A and B are shown apart, each in its own frame.
Chain A
Amino acid sequence: MEENGTDMQTESEQCVYKCARQKLENLLNKSMKIRMTDGRTLLGLFLCTDRDCNVILGSAQEFLRTTDSFSQAEPRVLGLAMIPGHHVVSIEVETESLQSQGL
């Protein structure tokens, strides 16, 4: 289906794609902390993502920004939450679980 000249290229593309997918799949169901553009942090299980980096976390809890000295320590339970990709500032994942998966 592809022209001969681009065969190599598509093969390496395929490899990159598979690699990326593998990486992401290994992260599934891991605890993840996502910081959003407004400073809030969500902690929950990584369930789903797509090309635009929209992320769905399960059993998510919301934490207010830590710099605010008055912010309550109590998190707010959100349940299933979707964070649009353009609002994701940083993503962290638990190392212990990462190591056990050998990533």
Chain B
Amino acid sequence: MVMKSSCEEDEGAWGLGIPEKMRNNTDWVDITQDFKASCKELKLGELLHDKLFGLFEAMSAIEMMDPKMDAGMIGNQVNRKVLNFEQAVKDEAIRVKDLTLPELIGIVDTCFCCLITWLEGHSLAQTVFTCLYVHNPELIQDPALKAFALGILKVCDIAREKVNKAAVFEEEDFQAMTYGFKMANNVTDLRVTGMLKDVEDELQRKVKSTRSRQGEQRDPEVELDHQQCLALFSRIKFTRLLLTALISFTKKETSAVSEAQKLMSQAADLLPAIHSTIQYGIQSQNDTTKGDHPIMMGFEPLVNQRLLPPTFPRYAKIIKREEMVNYFTKLIERIKTVCDVINTSNLHSILDFFCEFSEQSPCVLSRSLLQTTFLIDNKKVFGTHLMQDMIKDALRYFVSPPVLSSKCSLYNNHQAKDYIDSFVTHCSRPFCSLIQIHGHNRARQRDKLGHILEEFATLQDEAEKVDAALHGLLMKLEPQRQHLACLGTWVLYHNLRIMIHYLLSGFELELYSMHEYYYIYWYLSEFLYAWLMSTLSRADSSQMAEERILEEQQQKGRSSKKSKKKKKARPLGKEITMSQAYQNMCAGMYKTMIALDMDGKVRKPQFELDSEQVRYEHRFAPFNSVVTPPPVHYIQFKEMSDLKKYSPPPRSADLYMAASKHFQQAKLILENVTSPDTEVNRILKVAKPNIVVMKLLAGGHKKDTKALPEFDFSAHKYFPIVKII
């Protein structure tokens, strides 16, 4: 519909913006009394409606005048006039030139706070665009403010583009809508950074001219001016560095990433100066500590109220200025970490990098930057390597399949090449998805991991077929060699990792109830970790077999040189060790839970509408799509974990003792790890107290207490310290 935009003053025809068609020929007739009287005649609870309109449709209506649903209500209840930028300038409510330094500092700081609030998932309309100046930087005459306004728009624009491209956000992470605002697209990036640089230089000159000289009597006014100039200088420079760093990320060369890292370091150096000068900026007139919008010159929190969609209004709490620097410090730290990804070369280490990065629950911007740095334009890893080559390298590193060894007759065999190439091509997409999943927020990851198992199951199937075909070929060419379960082992390894990750993340997200712990830990220790370890050792022996063949071939060439480094550390050694430790931790927790249950120390729900089986099947439902390892059904689980098959059946004390031994074993394994990382130390922090607690419980400590034990997950996300109260 075409809206009439002219505005008529007279009250009678309050047809403001009412479609032209309706205004001509039609008169509006007041039927208020008649309507209300007619309504009164309706029966209680009776709805008068069209045949096509039912109670169901009625449910989805938003309720007017309900502050929880009616976003338009808020704007209508304030007493002040809500002015847009042009009106405010005309009314001289805000100035576009001759701004004082405190005003500039205050505006810049508030904009920074708005930017952060936006990055934390609020809409642009309620954050950055509450600043009237960014609505139209063209109108600003003050050079510093104009450059800053353009700069902040560019920062938003690039950040938005990155986040959109990486596609690792959900509605709770990020609002990409721009509400039709112009994001300074008519000015080039280079022009904006140039403008910022000019302002910066100008301010630096002022800073220098007001600097105190030796022996000079310091005029406090000059000193204040000096401090304020310095404050604005730091802010403008920070904006420029942030913008330049983001621009670097849009470039295709990997060198640009290290350039961005350097720029971020420089920006971080400015933060202390920004922090110490926050008090120089003008403050908002209202109390923003309660989360209110800052009301100060240049800001109108309600200016975009009418742009908000007719959904429930969300209140954007603009963060406090004191927290701004802290947030920037962490953001820069995260972006610098992201830059480090280009130093990892192996697909497996890249996957680990993504997992590890995700563990600190990073913000959507850094997550997106990591994604876009990894796969530039969805084609090449870091812009240089083909994903297929990365996968081949990963295969070589993990199982050393003969087909990828240059010393094998399959290497130059056409048919073998076709097989492996098409397999690797098929791997490409699931692995890219897997990496993308690790970019999502923690809660969403779990759900997505459950779904990707289907793709990996298909891949597993293909891997086994290709293995068989390659083995057939190899038997004809080199009968002494094998090509059994090479690719299959590799896919299985990833399958298991995803399944383990899926189960463990449930602890982190606090999804499981205490009475569910025992089967989750059972599934992990008895099943998934057992499979993982056998998979790893199969890969390890496959590597060794390949190395032996290589050595033999080398010795044929020059028999004088004997291979010296016999006792080289196995590449998968660390991972095998860690899996053993995890398995023991899970086994310890499983036995603990069984024993606690025997002692009546696990609260169980009244199963009325469901049963343990229903819950169990729900917990492991995603595993049903996987063929290897086959899912363990509830009945099987009950049979396998039945304690009656032991004679005599263990008592709770025996189980506590066994649990203690598992924790002890985990501790021993971890203490032998050379160069332990933080993860090793975290597990040790859980294992050690649990050894003691289990021994105490085995000795009958507080056996009669009715108090339930506590599970403290503060030391480790997946394994709790058991506390008996």
- A residues in contact (CB < 8 Å) with B: 16-17, 19-21, 23-25, 27-29, 31, 33, 36-43, 47-53, 56, 58, 61-85, 87-98
Q: When chains A and B are docked, how far (Å) is the Cα of A43 from the Cα of B40?
A: 23
Q: Are B35 and A73 in contact (CB under 8 A)?
A: no
Q: Give the contact stretch, choosing among B52-60, B460-468, B633-641.
A: B52-60
A76 to chain B: which residues have CB within 8 Å?
72, 306-307, 310
Which of B11, B35, B46, B53 is the one whose CB lies under 8 Å from A91? B35
B25 within 8 A of partner (CB): yes
Q: Are A38 and B45 in contact (CB under 8 A)?
A: no
Give the total of B residues in contact with A, Cβ under 8 Å. 57
Give 20 new A-B contacts, CB below 8 A, not counting A42-B64, A81-B310: A16-B41, A20-B40, A20-B41, A28-B49, A31-B22, A36-B65, A38-B65, A38-B73, A47-B57, A48-B53, A49-B49, A50-B46, A62-B306, A63-B17, A66-B14, A73-B16, A74-B17, A76-B307, A80-B60, A91-B35
A48 to chain B: which residues have CB within 8 Å?
47-50, 53, 58
Which of B27, B45, B76, B310 is the one whose CB lies under 8 Å from A95? B27
- Secondary structure at the A interface, as helix, strand, loop or mixed, is mixed
- B residues in contact (CB < 8 Å) with A: 3-7, 9, 11, 14, 16-18, 22, 25-32, 34-50, 53, 57-58, 60-65, 72-73, 76-77, 81-83, 87, 306-307, 310
B265 to chain A, nearest CB (A): 46
Q: Are A98 and B36 in contact (CB under 8 A)?
A: no
A10 to chain B, nearest CB (A): 14
Which of B48, B61, B82 is the one whose CB lies under 8 Å from A21? B48
Closest chain A residue to B82, Cβ basis: A70
A52 to chain B: which residues have CB within 8 Å?
39
Q: Are A82 and B32 in contact (CB under 8 A)?
A: no
Closest chain A residue to B13, Cβ basis: A66
B76 to chain A: which residues have CB within 8 Å?
38-40, 64-65
Q: Are B73 and A91 in contact (CB under 8 A)?
A: no
Report if A80-B64 is in contact (Cβ < 8 Å); known contacts: A47-B53, A48-B47, A48-B53: no
Q: Are A20 and B58 in contact (CB under 8 A)?
A: no
Q: Are B39 and A75 in contact (CB under 8 A)?
A: no
Q: Are A84 and B46 in contact (CB under 8 A)?
A: no
Q: Are A80 and B47 in contact (CB under 8 A)?
A: no
Q: When chains A and B are docked, how far (Å) is the Cα of A50 from the Cα of B39?
A: 6
Q: Are B3 and A75 in contact (CB under 8 A)?
A: yes
Which of A37, A73, A90 is the one whose CB lies under 8 Å from B65? A37
Q: Are B44 and A74 in contact (CB under 8 A)?
A: no
Q: When chains A and B are docked, how far (Å) is the Cα of A88 from the Cα of B22?
A: 22
Q: Are B46 and A81 in contact (CB under 8 A)?
A: no
Report if A95-B38 is in contact (Cβ < 8 Å); known contacts: A36-B64, A66-B11, A80-B61: no
A78 to chain B: which residues have CB within 8 Å?
62, 72, 310
Report if A95-B32 is in contact (Cβ < 8 Å); known contacts: A47-B49, A78-B310, A82-B61: no
Which of B44, B61, B307 is the one whose CB lies under 8 Å from A81? B61
25 contacts between A and B (CB under 8 A): A21-B41, A24-B48, A38-B65, A39-B76, A40-B76, A47-B49, A47-B50, A50-B42, A50-B46, A53-B35, A63-B17, A64-B306, A67-B11, A74-B17, A74-B306, A76-B310, A77-B310, A80-B60, A82-B64, A91-B30, A92-B28, A93-B29, A93-B31, A94-B29, A95-B28
Q: Are B42 and A20 in contact (CB under 8 A)?
A: yes
Q: Are A85 and B62 in contact (CB under 8 A)?
A: no
Closest chain A residue to B51, Cβ basis: A28
A25 to chain B: which residues have CB within 8 Å?
48
A25 to chain B, nearest CB (A): 7
B42 to chain A: which residues have CB within 8 Å?
17, 20-21, 24, 49-51
Q: When chains A and B are docked, how far (Å) is the Cα of A80 from the Cα of B45?
A: 20
B39 to chain A: which residues have CB within 8 Å?
20, 24, 49-53, 85
Closest chain B residue to A28, Cβ basis: B50
Q: Are A17 and B48 in contact (CB under 8 A)?
A: no
Q: When chains A and B are docked, how far (Å) is the Cα of A95 from the Cα of B306?
A: 30
Q: When chains A and B are docked, how far (Å) is the Cα of A6 from the Cα of B43?
A: 19
Q: Are B22 and A92 in contact (CB under 8 A)?
A: no
Q: Are B62 and A50 in contact (CB under 8 A)?
A: no
Q: When chains A and B are docked, how far (Å) is the Cα of A68 from the Cα of B9?
A: 9
A84 to chain B: which residues have CB within 8 Å?
63-65
Q: Are B7 and A73 in contact (CB under 8 A)?
A: yes
Q: Which 10 A-B pairs have the closest CB atoms?
A: A20-B41, A20-B38, A48-B49, A92-B28, A82-B61, A80-B61, A51-B42, A53-B39, A78-B310, A66-B14
Q: Are B306 and A94 in contact (CB under 8 A)?
A: no
A64 to chain B: which residues have CB within 8 Å?
16, 76, 306
Which of A24, A42, A66, A73 is the one whose CB lies under 8 Å from B38? A24
Which of B3, B31, B49 is the one whose CB lies under 8 Å from A73? B3
A65 to chain B: which residues have CB within 8 Å?
76
B658 to chain A, nearest CB (A): 62
Among A66, A89, A96, chain B packs the most CB atoms within 10 A around the CB of A66
Closest chain B residue to A63, Cβ basis: B16
Report if A73-B17 is in contact (Cβ < 8 Å); known contacts: A49-B39, A91-B30: yes
B77 to chain A: which residues have CB within 8 Å?
38
B38 to chain A: which residues have CB within 8 Å?
20-21, 23-24
B59 to chain A, nearest CB (A): 10
B63 to chain A: which residues have CB within 8 Å?
81-82, 84
Q: Are A56 and B41 in contact (CB under 8 A)?
A: no
Q: Are B64 and A94 in contact (CB under 8 A)?
A: no
B57 to chain A, nearest CB (A): 7
Closest chain B residue to A57, Cβ basis: B61
Among A51, A56, A68, A96, chain B packs the most CB atoms within 10 A around the CB of A51
Closest chain A residue to B87, Cβ basis: A70
Which of A28, A29, A79, A92 is the one whose CB lies under 8 Å from B310? A79
Q: Are A87 and B47 in contact (CB under 8 A)?
A: no
Q: Are B48 and A87 in contact (CB under 8 A)?
A: no
Q: Are A73 and B64 in contact (CB under 8 A)?
A: no
Closest chain A residue to B42, Cβ basis: A51
A79 to chain B: which residues have CB within 8 Å?
62, 310
A60 to chain B, nearest CB (A): 9
A19 to chain B, nearest CB (A): 8
B53 to chain A: which residues have CB within 8 Å?
47-48, 56, 58
Which of B7, B9, B45 is the one whose CB lies under 8 Å from A50? B45
A46 to chain B, nearest CB (A): 9
Closest chain A residue to B43, Cβ basis: A51
Q: Are A83 and B50 in contact (CB under 8 A)?
A: no
Report if A33-B28 is in contact (Cβ < 8 Å); known contacts: A47-B49, A53-B39: yes
Q: When chains A and B are docked, how far (Å) is the Cα of A51 from the Cα of B64?
A: 18
Closest chain A residue to B6, Cβ basis: A73
Closest chain B residue to A66, Cβ basis: B14
Closest chain A residue to B24, Cβ basis: A96
B82 to chain A: which residues have CB within 8 Å?
70
Q: When chains A and B are docked, how far (Å) is the Cα of A79 from the Cα of B359?
A: 41
A12 to chain B, nearest CB (A): 12
Q: Are A98 and B29 in contact (CB under 8 A)?
A: yes
Q: Are B72 and A62 in contact (CB under 8 A)?
A: yes
Q: When chains A and B are docked, how far (Å) is the Cα of A43 from the Cα of B81?
A: 24
Q: Are B31 and A80 in contact (CB under 8 A)?
A: no
Which of A74, A80, A95 is the one whose CB lies under 8 Å from B26? A95
